[in-house]
Amino acid sequence: MKCRMTVGCTTIFAVLLTLTTAPAFAAVAIVAGETIQLENTLPDVRHLWVTSQDFTRINGFELKAEGACLGEICIPLKQTEDSDLFVKRDGQSWLNVTAFADKVQQAYVVDRESDVWSFGLVPQSRKAFLQSAEAPDFELKDRNGETVRLSDFRGKKVLIITWASW
Amino acid sequence: MPVWQSVYEDIDDDNFVLISAAQDTGGEKATGKIFDAAKVTYTAIIDEDHTISTLFNLVNVPSGIWIDEDGQIVRINEGTYAAKHKLGTFEFGTDAYVPAVRDWISKGADSAFVWSPEEVARNIIQRTPDAQRAEPAFKLGVYFHRQGNEDLANRWWEESQKLNPDSWNFHRQDWSFTPREATRNWYRKVQTLGDKPYYRPLGLPGEDTDTQ
């Protein structure tokens, strides 16, 4: 199928998804400037329910038997019974990624009409920076398209200067 | 920027990395010619989403961050012009910054300009819960801007400014898309600063802090 109009194609795609995996809907999540297409979400007037893979892409927390874990930190999250954070529908597990964000104080905003959810940094991943002055790592492309990863410069002194044209 | 290029060439140390990161949603179109004109040979990044400012809690440009060989921040600051500049009667920048950088490059941890982790932590701008929400709000604006939806881009950029009134980045980036009003907007906001500095003083010897 050749798609000229992005909007039209997205709509067709969303309808197809809804038909095959009802009652799931597509949404968009923005995490650290990266746009993630969420192919399946559970409809909810207030919250965003996502699959476990998308959950981890949004906040970095991985689901384990003891809960949702980020490094050493584990937040209790029962995956054996329905709760405000977890439900099972037709064999598929859904995680309430916004209720979890409230719990761990990950900031987010949503444009409900377009169903685009934008997430901020997870405070649990910020302690080394805020308390111990450890430089947070980043990965950005330089003007030549090469990946620049701050942690690749260990052993060297790095001076970062921000600026803008405006 | 040409000043930084000459500083970089002059330092000429394989163990010194200079990263110039444009916090600019205008992308290559807005910044490319400036990088080209300065003929930069150091690392040039066009950070359209302001990722670096988000990660390092920065609210204005230019801002400088010093990171040592172990990945520890040893200085994080605001208003790091490489030299003194004049814009009408508005003076900004300092000649004290580049010598401080040179001192650090040659002396490392023994440089008097290096801060302890506690000092760095004290100088990191703390974000209120609202200021934390301003970050994803700004990025939502960038998303809609990329989609060509300027109404929604504006709505979310204005939201980010409401949530973090201290972020010059969020204000000035937004104003850059309506250049005719940008100067007036900026001047108005500067008038509301009162005793607050536009850039935080660098605390360097020989620095003229009266630049607001």
3-state secondary structure of A151: helix
CA distance linking residue A63 with residue A65, whole number of Å: 7
Domain span at residue B175? 129-191
Let me know whether B28 and B105 are in one domain: yes
Amino acid at A115: D
Is the CB of residue A136 less than 8 Å away from at least one CB of chain B?
A: yes
Distance from CA of B206 to the nearest CA of A (A): 21
Give the pLDDT mean for A59-84. 95
The 8-class DSSP code of residue A133 comes to -
pLDDT tier at A6, thresholds 50, 70, 90? very low
Judge whether B44 and A142 are in contact, CB under 8 Å.
yes
3-state secondary structure of A144: coil
Extract the runs of DSSP E, i.e. beta strands, from chain B. 16-23, 43-47, 63-67, 73-78, 85-87, 90-92
Residue A23 neighbours by CB under 8 Å, 6+ apart: A42, A43
CA distance linking residue A47 with residue A41, whole number of Å: 10
CB–CB of A118 and B137 under 8 A?
yes
What does the pLDDT look like over A25-55, one tens digit per residue? 899 999 987 999 999 999 998 999 999 999 9
pLDDT tier at A23, thresholds 50, 70, 90? low
**Chain A residue at shortest CA distance from B176:** A166
Give the pLDDT mean for B15-42. 95
CB–CB of A166 and B182 under 8 A?
yes
Token pair 């709000």 is at which residue? B137
**Chain A residue at shortest CA distance from B55:** A136
Domain span at residue A115? 6-125
pLDDT tier at B200, thresholds 50, 70, 90? confident
Between B97 and A156, residue with greater pLDDT = A156
What does the pLDDT look like over A127-156, one tens digit per residue? 999 999 999 999 999 999 999 999 999 999
Q: Can you give the pLDDT at residue A119?
A: 98
CA distance linking residue B75 with residue B58, whole number of Å: 13
Let me know whether B166 and B70 are in one domain: no
Overall domain count for chain B: 2
Task: Determine how many CB atoms are found less than 10 A away from the CB of residue A68.
Answer: 25
Residue A135 lies in a domain: no
Is B197's pLDDT higher than 80?
no
Q: Can you give the pLDDT at residue A8?
A: 47
Mean pLDDT of chain B: 90
Let me know whether B25 and B108 are in one domain: yes
What does the pLDDT look like over A94-120, one tens digit per residue? 999 999 999 999 999 999 999 999 999
Q: Say what percent of chain B tops pLDDT 70.
A: 95
Let me know whether B135 and B117 are in one domain: no
Is A7's pLDDT higher than 60?
no
Let me know whether B48 and B76 are in one domain: yes
Let me know whether B115 and B18 are in one domain: yes
Which among B58, B73, B108 is the nearest to A135, CB-wise?
A: B73
Is A1's pLDDT higher than 50?
no
pTM of the model: 0.88
Let me know whether B36 and B117 are in one domain: yes
Overall domain count for chain A: 1
Structure-block tokens of residue B129: 């819960």
Q: Which of B106, B123, B140 is the last residue of a domain?
A: B123
